[in-house]
């Protein structure tokens, strides 16, 4: 029963997200990833993973599990239902001191079980004017632990304007989700070099800011 409600809720959320944002996926020339992978995206809204999830074809969508902050998604029964049951999120504790589980271990075990992950390496929603916040090191430790896994950069455009922080009514604006070519960690790549390379690959997908075409 819960499963049925969760599926119905997922379908409703996807229809709603599509109706508001008319979201469109722009795939990389390499096409769709054929194996489970890590989608890593910029983060500016709670709806980010919904959009990535919504544009994935059903076959890939069933494999994909968003990685999200436990503090937020376990806050109330509703968010818990949406986080755990509807989207089957890998919920990680962001607060180092209160952790009982190692986030990287949680993510690797999800990968080992055949899932793809939707990851936001900035760690928190970007409220600044910078296009991207510096990545946290989790994605590096994850890639180092599973060096064969492909990392797919995903740029989510405009969703921060649809629903800025603190607003409750979404503004219908057209969003795009751009997928880049798959990347892998290089042998002996340092943490800084890897994070730098991932950030550059993600930024390369972002469009020029609107209205700057003079």
Partner 1 sequence: MSAASSDLLTLVAGIFGVLILASTIGYVLQQRLSPTGSNASIENLNARIKAWWIMVILIGIAFVAGRIGVLILFGFCSFAALREFVTLINTRRADHWALAAAFFIVVPLQYYLLWAEQYGIFSIFIPVYAFLLMPIISVLRGDTERFLIRIAEVQWALMICVFCASHVPALLTLNIPGYEGRNVLLIAFLVIVVQLSDVLQYVWGKLFGHIKIAPKLSPSKTVEGFAGGVISATLIGAALWWITPFTPVQAGLLAFVITLMGFFGGLVMSAIKRDRGIKDWGNLIEGHGGLIDRLDSVVFSAPIFFHIVRYWWSL
Report the interface residues with partner 1, using CB under 8 A: 22, 24, 158, 161, 164, 167, 169, 171-174, 208, 210-213
CA–CA separation, 214 vs 212, rounded Å? 6
Fill in the DSSP letter of residue 83: I
CB of 8 to partner 1, least distance (A): 25
Q: How far is the CB of 4 from partner 1 (least distance, A)?
A: 31
Tell me how far apart the 2 most distant CA atoms of the chain are, in Å. Answer: 56
CA distance 57 to 75: 30
Phi and psi at 8, nearest 5°, equal: -65, -40
- H/E segment holding residue 159: helix 159-162
Nearer of residues 59 and 208 to partner 1, judged by Cβ: 208
Cross-strand bridge partners of residue 157: 176
Q: Give 51 or 143: the residue with its C-beta nearer to partner 1.
A: 51
Task: Give 116 or 178: the residue with its C-beta nearer to partner 1.
Answer: 178
Nearest residue (CB) to partner 1, 19 versus 193: 19
Least CB distance from residue 64 to partner 1, whole Å? 24
Smallest separation (angstroms) from partner 1 to the CB of 164 = 5
């Amino acid at each position: 029963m819960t499963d049925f409600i969760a599926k119905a809720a997922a379908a409703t959320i996807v229809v709603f997200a599509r109706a508001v944002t008319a979201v469109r996926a722009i795939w990389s020339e390499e096409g769709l990833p054929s194996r489970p992978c890590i989608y890593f995206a910029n983060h500016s809204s709670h709806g980010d993973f919904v959009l990535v999830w919504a544009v994935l074809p059903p076959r890939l969508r069933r494999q994909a599990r968003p990685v999200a902050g436990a503090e937020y998604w376990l806050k109330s029964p509703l968010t818990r239902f949406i986080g755990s049951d509807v989207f089957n999120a890998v919920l990680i504790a962001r607060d180092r001191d209160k952790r009982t589980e190692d986030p990287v271990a949680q993510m690797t075990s999800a990968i080992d079980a055949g899932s793809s992950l939707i990851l936001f390496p900035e760690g928190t929603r970007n409220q600044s004017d910078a296009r991207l916040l510096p990545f946290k090191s989790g994605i590096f430790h994850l890639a180092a632990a599973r060096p064969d896994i492909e990392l797919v950069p995903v740029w989510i455009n405009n969703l921060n304007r649809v629903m800025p922080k603190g607003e409750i009514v979404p503004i219908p604006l057209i969003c795009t989700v751009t997928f880049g070519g798959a990347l892998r960690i290089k042998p002996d790549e340092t943490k800084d070099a890897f994070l730098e390379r991932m950030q550059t690959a993600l930024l390369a997908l972002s469009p020029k800011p609107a209205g700057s075409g003079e």
